[in-house]
Chain A
Amino acid sequence: MLSVFIMPGLIVELTLGGFLTVLAIVGIVGAAAGSFFYSFRSQKATVKADAVHEWSEVASALEKKIGLAEEEIASLKMKDAQCQMKVNNITAFNLRLQAREVRYQRRINVLERMAGVDVTDFNDVTDAPEDSAFR
């Protein structure tokens, strides 16, 4: 007979066969729990690795997308600068034409006065004749 100490105040007396049976049961239960814990842990690690892999794929796809968008922005900025340069050249050209127009208008007014005909008011666009009275 073997006396097995379980906890203070609880001592169970077992035969050797009974003790070995209990030991075997405890061993089987422990092994089952260990195996369950191990498989749970490795499954968790696999899921985590899969998620990381998936996210890194998403991240690299996004990175490529951002790279393409940045290239597009750079190309658009260049096109915008070219357009702006054209607008500036047209504006400068327009200013030269307006200056010439004003000069012609003044010259026309001088000639109108010399010829004694009505002087055209080029600022009055509402009643302006199609062209000057001066011929």
Chain B
Amino acid sequence: MMSLTRPKILLLDDDELTLDFLKSAFASMPFDATFTATGIDALVKIFEAYRSGEPFTALILDCALPHFDGFTIARIVRIAEKTGISPRARIGYFTAFAKTVDQSTLLEEVGAEAYWHKPEDSTNLPQLIALWLQ
């Protein structure tokens, strides 16, 4: 029997317009998607998911956030995972600052597997994420 479990993913973006677009774009996709606009709220949702025993399969994060940026969140998640609280989540970034990110090894450091360019990949993002999660 095939598993009907839909991948549980978290999408974080502090731009309201982008978040609204993502919500409508992901509505028809086979994901159990949670949306959030701040880093703190994302962390709360991630830890609530740990506590409920149903952690997120994947985290799609915005890099540039005013307080908790996407990489700080990923670093916290990786530290939490080391305690055995949950299996390793897959991490991807959706960013308008690819050039800045490319100057560092942040993606490797946090074990991110993919990143998509904002706004170029916006339209196809749900499909790209679906492909990535296959």
**Interface residues, chain A, with chain B CB atoms under 8 Å away:** 84-85, 87-88, 90-92, 94-96, 98-100, 102-103
A91 touches B64 (CB 8 A): no
Tell me whether B69 and A92 are in contact (CB under 8 A). Answer: yes
Interface on chain B toward A: helix, strand, loop, or mixed SS? loop
Q: Are B106 and A92 in contact (CB under 8 A)?
A: yes
Q: Chain B, interface size: which category?
A: 10 to 19
Interface centre among A91, A95, A98 (most CB of B within 10 A): A95
How far apart are the CA atoms of A125 and B67 in the complex, in Å? 26
Contact with A along B52-66 (1 / 0, CB 8 A): 000000000001111
**Secondary structure dominating the interface of A:** helix
Residues on B facing A (Cβ under 8 Å): 14, 63-67, 69-72, 97, 100-101, 103-106, 109
Residues of B within 8 A of A92 (CB): 69, 71-72, 106
- Chain A to chain B contacts (Cβ below 8 Å), 25 pairs: A85-B109, A87-B103, A87-B104, A87-B105, A88-B104, A88-B105, A90-B104, A91-B71, A91-B103, A91-B104, A91-B106, A92-B71, A92-B106, A94-B100, A95-B64, A95-B65, A95-B69, A95-B71, A96-B66, A96-B67, A98-B100, A99-B14, A99-B65, A99-B66, A103-B66
Chain A residue with Cβ nearest B104: A91
How far apart are B47's CB and chain A's nearest CB, in angstroms? 21
Q: For residue A103, which residues in chain B have a CB less than 8 angstroms away from its CB? A: 14, 66
